[in-house]
Structure 1
Amino acid sequence: MYLMRLSADELHALQLRDGLVAALEAAEVEHGRAGETSAGEKQAWRHSLPVIARDLRDAGLGAVDMMIEYKLPECQGPADVILAGVHPASQAPSYVVVELKQWRRATAAEGTGRFVIANQTGKSKRHPAEQTADFCRALLNSHGSLAGHEESLAGLTYLHNAADHDVADLLRYPRTRLSHVFTRDSRGALIRFLRDRLAAAPGRPAAELFAAGPLRVRLAGLDARGRLDWHTGGFRLASDPVAAQRFVLDTVRAAHAAQDKSALVVTGAAANQGGELVSTAANALDRAGYRTRVLSGPRAPAFQVCDVLFCEESWLRCAAPLPAAADVPDSVRPLLAAMIRSARVPVFVLAGGHVAPGEAEGFGGVIRQVCSALRVPDRHLRLDHEFC
Structure 2
Amino acid sequence: MYVIRTSADQLYALHQRGELVGILQEAERELGRAESGANEKRAWEHSLPAMARDLVDSGLGAVDMMVECAFPGVQGAADVILAGRHPRTHDLSYVVVELKQWRRVTLAPGSQDRFRVGNFTGKLKKHPAEQTGAFCRALLRSHELFAERDDRLAGLTYLHNAADHDVGDLLSYERTGLSHIFTRDSRGALMRFLRERLAPVPGSPASARFVAAVGPDSGGGSASEVMRRRGGFPLLSDMTATEQFALDVLRAAYAGDRKCVVAMTGADTDVVGTVTASVTSALRGAGYTCRGPERHGSAEPPESDVLLCAESRLVQTDDWTRPLDGHVGTSALMAELIVRTRVPVFFLGNDEGETGSARPCPSDLLRRTAEVMGMPVRFFRLDKEFR
Q: Which runs of 5+ in 2 are unaligned?
A: 325-329
Q: Encode CA deviations 1:340-372: one digit per residue, 9 max, x unaligned.
A: 111111000123658555146611110111000
Partner of 1:184: 184
Distance 1:54 1:38, change over 3 A: same
* Pairs aligned (count): 378
Q: Does 1:17 align with 2:17?
A: yes
Equivalent in the alignment of 1:30: 30
Post-superposition offset of 1:235: 3.8
2:288 is matched with 290
The separation in 2 between residues aligned to 1:353 and 1:274, in whole angstroms, is 15
Q: Tell me which residue corresponds to 2:61.
A: 62
Does the 8 Å CA contact 2:311/2:349 hold for their aligned counterparts? yes
Partner of 2:302: 304
**Counterpart contact for 1:306–1:344, Cα < 8 Å:** yes
Within 5 A, what are the aligned runs for 1:219-368?
A: 228=227, 232-233=230-231, 235-295=233-293, 300=298, 302-320=300-318, 328-330=321-323, 333-351=331-349, 355-356=353-354, 357-359=356-358, 362-368=361-367
Once the two structures are TM-superposed, the CA of residue 12 in structure 1 deviates from its matched residue by 1.1
SS in 2 for 1:77: strand
- 1:264-283 CA distances to partner (integer Å, 9 max, x unpaired)? 11111110100110111111
Question: 1:379 maps to which residue?
Answer: 378
Q: Give the Cα separation in 2 of the matches to 1:87 and 1:248.
A: 24
What's 2:43 paired with?
A: 44
Q: Which amino acid aligns with 1:40?
A: N
For 1:280 and 1:114, the matched residues in 2 are separated by 31
> Aligned in 2, Cα 1:91/1:107: closer, same or farther, shift over 3 Å?
same
1:201-212 alignment, distance < 5 Å: 201-212=201-212
The equivalent residue for 1:325 is: none
Aligned equivalents of 1:168, 1:221: Cα separation in 2: 36
More displaced stretch, 361-370 vs 59-68: 361-370
Q: In the TM superposition, what is the alpha-carbon distance from 1:330 to its structure 2 partner? A: 3.2
- 2:139 alignment counterpart: 139
Q: For structure 1, list consecutive stretches of 5 or more residues without a partner in the other structure.
A: 323-327
Q: Which amino acid letter does the alignment assign opposite residue 123 of structure 2?
A: K
Identical-residue share of aligned pairs (%): 49
Equivalence for 2:83: 84
TM-score (norm 2): 0.91
Q: Aligned-residue CA RMSD in angstroms?
A: 2.3
Change beyond 3 A, Cα 1:255–1:27: same
1:238-272 deviations in Å (ceiling 9; x for gaps): 53111111111111111111111111111111101
Q: Assess if the C-alpha contact under 8 Å between 2:266 and 2:381 holds in 1.
A: yes
The Cα of 1:13 is off from its aligned counterpart by 1.2
Q: Return the alpha-carbon distance in structure 1 between the equivalents of residues 335 and 243 of structure 2.
A: 26
CA distance in 1, matches of 2:221, 2:241: 22
Q: Which moved more, 1:257-266 or 1:300-309?
A: 300-309
The structural deviation recorded for 1:207 is 0.6
TM norm structure 1 = 0.91
Relative to 1, partners in 2 of residues 1:299 and 1:377: Cα closer, same or farther, differing over 3 Å?
closer
The Cα of 1:234 is off from its aligned counterpart by: 6.4
Which residue is equivalent to 2:327? none
Distance 1:123 1:228 in 2: 32
Instruction: Give the equivalent residue in structure 1 for 2:125.
Output: 125
SS in 1 for 2:145: helix
Q: Secondary structure at the match of 1:189?
A: helix
Structure 2 distance, partners of 1:75, 1:38, is 22
CA distance in 2, matches of 1:170, 1:249: 13
Please name the residue that 1:8 is paired with.
8
